[in-house]
Structure 1
């Protein structure tokens, strides 16, 4: 897994272990350089995190699809851009 989750929307927080975010943040190193977010079809942000790549659909494929996310955006040049 080449990404770590740093924020989960309150709607889904109970679907994860209590210490999930804390453990994810502990695993973040310098290689996780790219901010991303996963959104649903109504543009609601469900997850935010950091990735080692800014051209991989891995967060959407592995996590987002399970929760109904339809869009993966990476932060580039001061704004979020859909991949």
Structure 2
């Protein structure tokens, strides 16, 4: 016999932490956020800037700024 075991509503991907359903627009946006981050790292690898993160201090900060600047140039050009 199968018993009905309550599922924690906060853990379901289509519900908020209080159990309300997430609107379609907000749920559709969710997968795009990690994709943007992955594409940014792909651009960093393309321009071989990832190695700058091994530098001390603000190396990663400057690398991310450089990627953003090159991406803006790519969009403008």
- Calculate the TM-score normalised by the size of structure 2: 0.24
More strand by share: 1
More helix by share: 2
Higher relative contact order (CA 8 A, sep 6+): 1
